[in-house]
Structure 1
Amino acid sequence: MDLNRTPAAIANVAAEEIRALNHRTLDPKAFEQPSDVSNVVNGLAMLTERLEQAINQTGSGLRQFHDRNAIRMDDGSNVDERVAVVAQELLSAQIALGALKDHLRAAASPLSHMGSPWDDDEDGAE
């Protein structure tokens, strides 16, 4: 884990990795086994959990600037009002992310029991 990058650089790399996932999964053959689908869903669920913390900590960063009166607006709008809008939107994003996380976990549960059919010479018994 390279922590010498800026938070923005890290977020942009994460976005590019999701873009790569999107392109890779355009091909239906990208998934060789049902467990591959399960692993991706579990990875996306983990991503949502980590995004929740990232959103919270990013909002804290903005609040620190605001508390030090270290923000100016280049459009003449009121700093306090705009910071309040950002805080509310980040909170809304966290709430929405919580629902997404719940849905991904619900999808992951049955996926964890899925596998490819047995070969013709196997009956599933040991």
Structure 2
Amino acid sequence: MDLNRTPAQIADAAAEEVRALCHVTHPFKADWTQPAQISDTAHNVALIVDRLPQALKQLGAGLRMLEEKGAVRTDDGTDVAKRVGAALRALLNAQQALTVIQGALREATGSLSHLGGYLPDGEDEAEV
């Protein structure tokens, strides 16, 4: 884990990795050979989603801290407290929305964990 980057740089790298995931899982490019590959990938996507609420909560805490220090201004002359409040509400809404996604991914990974592929002809499970 490289912590010698800014939060924005880390988020950018995560976004690029998700973009790469989208490219390699495209139906015309993916080289799936076993359901376990899909299960493992879905599990790791679920881990990403499970970690996002903490990141969003910490972004909100950082914004509150900056506001308390008087280190926030607006670029259009609108009320800082209103803009900060709107941002904090939106971050909280995003955290809450993620709970729906987390539940759906738990259901998906639970079902995926029970799927297996076929062994090549002539092999049995004792040999694998």
Query: What is the TM-score normalised by the length of structure 2?
Result: 0.91
CA contact (8 A) 2:24 2:30 kept: no
Residue number in structure 2 paired with 1:5:
5
Distance of 2:30 and 2:50 partners within structure 1: 28
Runs of 5+ consecutive residues of structure 1 not aligned to the other structure: none
User: Per-residue deviation at 1:120?
Assistant: 3.7
1:14 aligns with 2:14: yes
User: Per-residue deviation at 1:49?
Assistant: 1.0
Distance of 1:31 and 1:125 partners within structure 2: 23
Deviations 1:50-82, CA, capped at 9 Å, x for gaps: 111111111111010011111011111110000
Query: What is the TM-score normalised by the length of structure 1?
Result: 0.92
CA separation of 1:71 and 1:14: change in aligned 2, threshold 3 A: same
User: Per-residue deviation at 1:122?
Assistant: 4.9
Distance of 1:109 and 1:70 partners within structure 2: 46
Letter in 2 for 1:4: N
Runs of 5+ consecutive residues of structure 2 not aligned to the other structure: none
CA contact (8 A) 2:34 2:117 kept: yes
Distance of 2:94 and 2:86 partners within structure 1: 12
User: Per-residue deviation at 1:124?
Assistant: 5.8
Residue number in structure 2 paired with 1:107:
108
User: Per-residue deviation at 1:118?
Assistant: 3.4
Residue number in structure 2 paired with 1:94:
95
CA contact (8 A) 2:35 2:115 kept: yes
Task: Tell me how many residue pairs correspond in the alignment.
Answer: 126
Letter in 2 for 1:72: R
Percent same amino acid at aligned positions? 46
Residue number in structure 2 paired with 1:33:
34
Residue number in structure 2 paired with 1:56:
57
Distance of 1:96 and 1:112 partners within structure 2: 25
Secondary structure in structure 1 of the residue aligned to 2:30: helix
